[in-house]
Amino acid sequence: MTRIAIPGYASLDHVMTLDGIPTPGRTTTILTRPEDAWPRLGGSPAYVAAALASGGIDGATPVTWIGDDPAGEGYLRQLEQRGIRTDGVSAIEGERTPMAILAYEPQGGCLCLYHPASAGHLVLTDSQRGVVAGADWLCVTVGPKAATREAVGLLSPAAKLCWVVKDDPRAVTPDLAAELAARADLICCSAAEAAFVRRAFEAGAKPKPGLMLIETRGGAGAQVTFEGVTTFVPSEPLVITDPTGAGDTFAGGALAALASGETNPVAVVKSGHKAAYALLSGRVANQNESA
């Protein structure tokens, strides 16, 4: 079994489409509020883990924090329904489960409101430390920086690291970004986040031999740089209202291939495309059924 620990923030997402851009003092009408996305399992660790599980990795484990409330029970239930391990999830006594509102306006932009819920300082529990220390891969997503830093320190020298980039200075400070860049075997970022990764290397981080750097370009595809060669791999575009989670799902699909022994960078990217397409095409089908 390939063990992959995925630290980061949890979320239960609530998705809606609007008839306009919200303006203070005016009412904006909600046009749609899909039942299967109210709430829907969200947060980077869950998306990555779901893609890994679909890609044949049965040891994918989100390392995250929820509340000991009904919403937290729902979060765990949705993980279990997808065949995802839950032993890395910590339910914090007296706290509420994180949630997000994803409101899409007519031009396609998304207004994201995230409530982290926990008033305390999120740290790794002993159980979570055991998950990380025993992992073959650590897949770092956006999460509390102290926990991320500790997780990297717990990783065994033989283990590998995947960094799913989020340009969030509250979660990833410049020094932590440089540490992740220097330790990473796989980096997945969007075109908008490429400068953040570049700055991490400019700060003195030296890339590991064999680093695979993938930069996604939305529906157009992704480019991969491996051993000094950059290749663009197109994807099959989809018209989709709600693309949330596609980048994390792509990263999980790419990591599933790499962790299973795939060494061809184009094949790794295609595995990411396949995972993202499966996620988004499922939403298109649901959208059409409810239209």
Q: What is the pLDDT of residues 150-179, one digit of tens each?
A: 999 999 999 999 999 999 988 999 999 999
Average pLDDT over residues 61-72: 97
**pLDDT, position 248:** 98
Written as one letter, the residue type at 273 is: H
Pairing state between β 212-216 and 40-42: unpaired
CA–CA distance, 287 with 31 (Å, rounded to integer): 13
**pLDDT, position 204:** 80
Average pLDDT over residues 182-203: 95
CA–CA distance, 242 with 103 (Å, rounded to integer): 9
**pLDDT, position 5:** 99
pLDDT at 119 over 90: no
**pLDDT, position 4:** 99
- Tens-place pLDDT, residues 197-214: 999 999 887 899 999 999
pLDDT at 231 over 60: yes
pLDDT at 287 over 80: no
- Tens-place pLDDT, residues 25-53: 999 999 999 888 999 999 999 999 999 99
Structural domains in the chain, CATH included, are 3-290 (3.40.1190.20)
pTM of the model: 0.95
> How many alpha carbons fall within 13 Å on the CB side of residue 161?
26
